[in-house]
Amino acid sequence: MIAEPIKQTSDNEFMVACEECGLVVNIPELSCGQKGSCPRCDHTVIKQIRLPYHRVVAYGIACLIMLVLSVSFPFMSFSVNGMGQEITLLNTAETLQHFENSALAILLMLTVLILPALYILLMLYLYYHAANAKHLGHSINRPKAVKYLCRVLFKIQPWLMVDVFLIGVLISLVKISALADIGLGNSFWAFCIYSFLVVKCVSLVDRTWLWQQFFPMQPIQGVDVGDSHLSNNHVACHMCNQLNPMPTANHGKCLRCESHLHPYNPQDSLQYAWAYLLVSIVFYIPANLYPMMYTVSLGESDGSTIIGGVILLWEMGSWPIAMVIFIASVLIPVSKMCTLVYLYYSARKRSNDSSYVAIKRMRLYRVTEFIGRWSMIDIFVVAILVALVQLHNLMSISPGPAAICFAFVVIFTMLSAMSFDPRLFWVAKGKSKQASELNSIQQ
């Protein structure tokens, strides 16, 4: 049942529910450069960048130009004893495909080239139409298509790993620089700029602000500032932050973006999170037991595991690189899995902890979710080395079975963190206690 709208205090103000703690807050009109944060957990709810349309379009166009240059010229070259090889960025995926490692090739192409390019194109398209709707007063053509494109934009954002790939390339250079002569092509420098621009474009896009440019927030009856997901009087859309009345069916749709609503369900959230986490733990065992890559030197093949590669780099004197590989491939995955176990167990107990404890767990969850994708560095190192070092029996590198297993570890830990509902940290409280607590935090 769709509730009738209520009158807002201002045409430029609207209410949203914080996606991390569930608190309903009122968003006033923001000036350029300002941001709105949740008064309870300090999560950024909305931000208003300076010159939003001009800056996004400028960075987006520059990003596409650098992407074209990154795939148009030689990326790197490798030579030893008069024999050498030159690769482009696309050769990396082609070589993985040659070794019947299609999954890694697809993963590389998606996270480094296809999804970032799609993200930038969608961003440019949406901001161009948002500028027309805002400044020129044009009506939005094909609103359903715009809603669909907005949903796609924010679904692919967590899987952009251009910056992670660049760090993997730099580590690869250090690992083989002592064995051969390495040359950096024009595409390498273009890719460095491209990586920076992709990160910058992502930082400029704000979900709540962008939705508001196309489809203003629709107010509903019976929801007040200070309510939360435990009030049982609304459902916050996970895609556009629109507050919706409680759906009568199991899968209602959002009033604004038409996404399927997911009412607060602690049991389902924890079940999915635990399931993904257990799968990642299972894959982590063979990822450490089997070789990550095989190195052929003068006709002799030698397999190298993750720990073996770290020890070899340490013995060769490359301590900084050994530490980076150890942190990214061993410390981060293990720490993330252990941290998620602790957070899920704490959420399952649902004890009446204070807001201070909830905020500490929330911050730990944010850090854990942020660093998860950086474990993909080792996979990208293998991909670069496999594509670059192919001198037949003199020297060549091929991927090992642990590479795909470790990639699955990273993917499933990311899915586990994303499927977890952090609102589980905030236990049921009386509304008067919650309001007084909110006032104390705001002061």
Q: Give pLDDT tens digits for 163-184.
A: 999 998 888 887 777 667 788 8
| Model confidence at 12: pLDDT above 60 | no
The pLDDT assigned to 1 comes to 29
Mean pLDDT of 333-346: 90
The pLDDT assigned to 141 comes to 64
The rounded percent of the chain whose pLDDT value lies above 70 is 85
* Range scoring the smallest mean pLDDT among 83-92, 334-343, 409-418: 83-92
Q: How far is CA 145 from the centre of its chain?
A: 24
Tens digits of residue pLDDT in 389-401: 776 666 677 788 8
User: Would you list the DSSP string of 324-385?
Assistant: HHHIIIIIHHHHHHHHHHHHHHHHHH-----HHHHHHHHHHHHHHHHHGGGGGHHHHHHHHH
pLDDT band at 441 (very low <50, low <70, confident <90, very high): very low
| Model confidence at 274: pLDDT above 90 | yes
The pLDDT assigned to 432 comes to 38
Flag whether 394 is in a domain. yes
End-to-end C-alpha distance for the chain, whole angstroms: 38
The pLDDT assigned to 350 comes to 61
Q: Which residue has the tokens 């919706």?
A: 244
Tens digits of residue pLDDT in 243-265: 988 876 666 888 888 888 888 88
More confident residue, 80 or 222: 222
Domain span at residue 47?
14-426
Specify the number of domains making up the chain: 1
| Averaged pLDDT of the chain | 81
The pTM of the full predicted model, rounded to 2 decimals, is 0.86
12-16, 426-430, 436-440: which is most confident? 12-16
Tens digits of residue pLDDT in 403-433: 899 999 999 999 999 999 888 888 754 443 4
More confident residue, 196 or 306: 196
Flag whether 431 is in a domain. no
The pLDDT assigned to 3 comes to 30
Flag whether 4 is in a domain. no
How wide is the angle at C-alpha 149 spanned by C-alphas 144 and 154, nearest 5°?
Answer: 130
Tens digits of residue pLDDT in 19-66: 888 889 888 887 877 888 888 888 888 888 888 888 899 999 999 999
Flag whether 405 is in a domain. yes
pLDDT band at 374 (very low <50, low <70, confident <90, very high): confident
Flag whether 273 is in a domain. yes
Element (H, E) at 104: helix 102-109
- Which residues face 47 on adjacent strands? 35
Q: What contacts 362, CB < 8 A, 6 or more positions away?
A: 20, 21, 41, 43, 422, 425
Flag whether 436 is in a domain. no
The pLDDT assigned to 428 comes to 52
Mean pLDDT of 204-219: 86
Nearest to 162 by CA among 127, 204, 103, 118: 118
Flag whether 173 is in a domain. yes
Distances from the Cα of 420 to the Cα of 157, 197, 232, 369, angstroms: 17, 30, 20, 10
The rounded percent of the chain whose pLDDT value lies above 90 is 23
The pLDDT assigned to 425 comes to 85
Flag whether 1 is in a domain. no
